[in-house]
Chain A
Amino acid sequence: MRLKAAAAAVLCLHCLGVYLFTRGFLLTRTELSASSRPSDLSRCPCSSASASASASADLHLPRPGWTPPTVDRVLILVVDALRFDFVAPSSLFQHQHQHQWMDRLSSLQHVASSHPLSSRIFKAIADPPTTSLQRLKALTTGGLPTFIDVGNSFAAPAIQEDNWIHQLVTTGRRVVMMGDDTWTHLFPHHFNHSYPYPSFNVKDLHTVDNGVAQHLMPWLYREDWDVLIAHFLGVDHAGHIYGVDSQPMVQKLEQINALLQNVIDIMKSQKHLLNTMLIVMGDHAQTLNGDHGGGTSEEVETCLFAWMPRSLPSSISSIFDSSTCGLGLNGKNICTSTMQQLDFAVSISALLGIPFPFGSIGRVNPELYALSPGSWDPQWLPASFYQDPRSDLKTWKNNFAHVLCINSWQVKRYIDSYSATSVMGFPSDDLHYITKLYNEAQSRWSDSKNSPCKPENGTINEFSDFLLSFATLARSAWTEFDLKLMGVGLGIFIISIIFHLFVFERAHSLSNVYDNKTQKSSNHLQIYVAFLLVAVRAVSFLSNSYILAEGRVANFLLATTAIGSIRSSLVYGKIKKHDLVFLILIILIRFGIEKGMSKQAATNPFLNYDSGSDFDLKWLPSLFEGHDFVTLLSEVSPMIILFLLSFLSCKYITCTVDSRYIRWVVTVGTMLSYLFIATFWLSERSFAPKMVYVIGLSLFVLNFVLRYLGILEKGETVQRLRTLALVMVSAWSPTILILLGKQGPFAVLVCIFAGWSIISSKNKGLLDDFKMDPISVMQWSLLAICLFYQTGHWCTFDGLRYGAAFIGFDEFKVVRQAILLFVDTFGISHILPIFSLPFLVTIPNSSSSKGRDKTVIFLNLTQVYLLYGLITAITTTFTVLCVAIQRRHLMVWGLFAPKYVFDAIGLLLTDLLICVSALYYC
Chain B
Amino acid sequence: MRKAQIGATTALALHSLCAADLATGYWLSHSLYSSSLITHPAPTLRILTVCEAPVVIVMFSWLRRDHDRCSFIKALARGLIGLPIGALINAFGAIVLGAPVGLKYWPATIYWSMLMSLFTFVPAACVFGASKLDWQQILSYSKPSNIVDYMLSVPAHGAIIGAWLGAWPMPLDWERPWQEWPICVTYGAIAGHLIGMLLSPVLIFLHRRHIRTKTE
Contacts and interface: CB of A to CB of B under 8 A. Distances in A.
User: A and B bound?
Assistant: yes
Contacts of A553: 171
A451 interface: no
Contact of B139 (A570, A614, A619): A570
Interface string A591-623: 000000000000000001000011111010000
Contact of A617 (B97, B102, B167): B102
A57 interface: no
Contacts of A567: 139
A648 interface: no
B195 to A, nearest CB: 20
Interface in B132-185: 135-136, 139-140, 142, 164, 167, 171-173, 175
Given A544-B173, A545-B171, A571-B136, A559 B98 contact: yes
A662 interface: no
Contacts of B167: 556
A586 interface: yes
B189 to A, nearest CB: 15
A348 interface: no
Contacts of B93: 563
B43 interface: no
Nearest to B132: A574
Interface in A86-111: none
A608 B179 CA distance: 13
Given A546-B171, A552-B171, A608-B173, A613 B139 contact: no
Nearest to B93: A563
A590 interface: yes
Of B92, B95, B98, B173, most A-chain CB atoms within 10 Å: B98
B84 interface: no
Nearest to A608: B173
A617 B92 CA distance: 17
Contact of A563 (B96, B104, B136, B173): B96
A730 B203 CA distance: 55
Interface in A257-302: none
A153 interface: no
Given A570-B139, A571-B136, A616-B103, A583 B171 contact: no
A808 B47 CA distance: 61
A549 B171 contact: yes
Query: Dominant SS at the B interface?
Result: helix
A567 B92 CA distance: 14
Given A571-B136, A613-B104, A619-B103, A548 B171 contact: yes
Nearest to A593: B98
Contacts of A544: 173
Of A548, A559, A562, most B-chain CB atoms within 10 Å: A559
A555 interface: yes
A586 B96 contact: yes
A560 interface: yes
Interface string B95-117: 11110111110000000000000
Contacts of B135: 570
Contacts of B173: 544-545, 608
A311 interface: no
Given A545-B171, A560-B164, A615 B102 contact: yes
A543 interface: yes
Contacts of B92: 583
Interface string A556-599: 10011011000100110000000000010011001000000000
Contacts of B164: 560
A617 B95 CA distance: 14
A571 B132 CA distance: 10
Classify chain A: how many residues form its interface, as a range.
Answer: 20 to 34
Contacts of A616: 102-104
Interface in B29-73: none
Query: Dominant SS at the A interface?
Result: helix
Contacts of A546: 171-172
Contacts of A614: 100, 102
A268 B1 CA distance: 104
A241 B88 CA distance: 42
Contacts of A619: 103
Contacts of A571: 136, 139-140, 142
B141 to A, nearest CB: 9
A123 B104 CA distance: 51
A548 B171 CA distance: 9
B136 A570 contact: yes
Contacts of B175: 608
Nearest to B169: A545
A417 B96 CA distance: 58
B34 to A, nearest CB: 25
B85 to A, nearest CB: 14
Given A567-B139, A571-B139, A543 B172 contact: yes
Contacts of A562: 96
Contacts of A543: 172
A545 B104 contact: no
A544 B135 CA distance: 42
Contacts of B98: 552, 555-556, 559, 590
A570 B172 CA distance: 34
B172 A560 contact: no
Nearest to B164: A560
Nearest to A614: B100
Contacts of B103: 616, 619
A224 B32 CA distance: 73
B9 to A, nearest CB: 31
Contacts of A560: 97, 164
A587 B95 contact: yes
A617 B140 CA distance: 38
Nearest to A609: B171
A556 B100 contact: no
A363 B85 CA distance: 76
A587 B95 CA distance: 7
B149 to A, nearest CB: 14
Interface string B178-211: 0000000000000000000000000000000000
B95 to A, nearest CB: 6
B58 to A, nearest CB: 27
A545 B172 contact: yes
A559 B97 contact: yes
A890 to B, nearest CB: 11
B90 to A, nearest CB: 11
A361 B109 CA distance: 60
A613 B171 contact: no
B144 to A, nearest CB: 14
A731 to B, nearest CB: 34
B133 to A, nearest CB: 11
Of B93, B97, B102, B167, most A-chain CB atoms within 10 Å: B97
A536 to B, nearest CB: 9
Contacts of A552: 98, 171
Contacts of A570: 135-136, 139
A619 B102 CA distance: 9
Contacts of B139: 567, 570-571
Interface string A213-244: 00000000000000000000000000000000
A38 to B, nearest CB: 51
B161 to A, nearest CB: 11
Given A559-B97, A570-B135, A608-B173, 9 more contacts: A544-B173, A548-B171, A553-B171, A563-B97, A583-B92, A586-B96, A587-B95, A590-B98, A619-B103
14 contacts: A545-B173, A546-B172, A552-B98, A556-B167, A559-B97, A562-B96, A570-B135, A571-B139, A583-B92, A586-B96, A587-B95, A614-B102, A617-B101, A617-B102
Interface of B: 92-93, 95-98, 100-104, 135-136, 139-140, 142, 164, 167, 171-173, 175
Interface of A: 543-546, 548-549, 552-553, 555-556, 559-560, 562-563, 567, 570-571, 583, 586-587, 590, 608, 613-617, 619
Q: Which 9 A-B pairs have the closest CB atoms?
A: A549-B171, A616-B102, A571-B140, A545-B172, A559-B96, A559-B97, A545-B173, A614-B100, A545-B171
